[in-house]
């Protein structure tokens, strides 16, 4: 929804995905397909669900503040399906005509980590990214 308010300062993005064992298989790889340690396929895997929401607010100075949330249910057919709940905040600001900075901070909570019942973990993320076109 590109415009939640009349002034266009707020927007909303909603996504949902469902994979099955018929049309999404990466067989050998349990954490996504990699090439030279770069992820090139979705780690979501077979028989899984993803729900994503992003609420964005465009500030008067042209920067973007966004709140993100994601819920993953991985391999529903497993005895102990793994779930991941993530929340993060991002801030994107153009410094000049050729330089942009992005700041991201968030956390992800994993239940049934490695498909082991009761095994859980929480990961934290802080990232600063400077973007300059080539």
pLDDT score at 111: 96
pLDDT score at 30: 54
pLDDT score at 77: 85
Domains in the chain: boundaries? 10-131
Q: What is the mean pLDDT of each run of 10 residues along the chain (134 residues)?
A: 87 92 58 61 78 96 96 90 96 92 97 93 96 85
Q: Which of 87, 91, 88, 86 is nearest to 57 (CA)?
A: 91
Both tokens assigned to 66: 């966004």
**C-alpha span between 47 and 24 (Å, rounded):** 8
pTM, full prediction:
0.81
Please measure the distance between the N-terminal and C-terminal CA atoms of the chain and give it in whole angstroms. Answer: 31
pLDDT score at 42: 64
């Amino acid at each position: 929804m590109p415009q939640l308010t009349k002034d266009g300062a707020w927007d909303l993005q909603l996504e949902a995905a469902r994979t099955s064992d018929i049309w999404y298989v990466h067989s050998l790889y349990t954490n996504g397909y990699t090439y030279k340690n770069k992820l090139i396929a979705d780690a979501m895997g077979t028989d899984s669900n993803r729900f994503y929401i992003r609420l964005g607010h465009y500030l008067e100075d042209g920067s973007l503040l966004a709140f993100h949330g994601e819920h993953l249910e991985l391999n529903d057919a497993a005895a102990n399906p793994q779930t991941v709940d993530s929340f993060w905040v991002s801030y994107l600001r153009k410094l000049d005509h050729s330089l942009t900075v992005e700041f991201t901070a968030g956390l992800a909570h994993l239940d049934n980590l490695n498909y082991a019942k009761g095994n859980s973990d929480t990961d934290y993320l802080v990232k600063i990214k400077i973007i300059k076109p080539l």
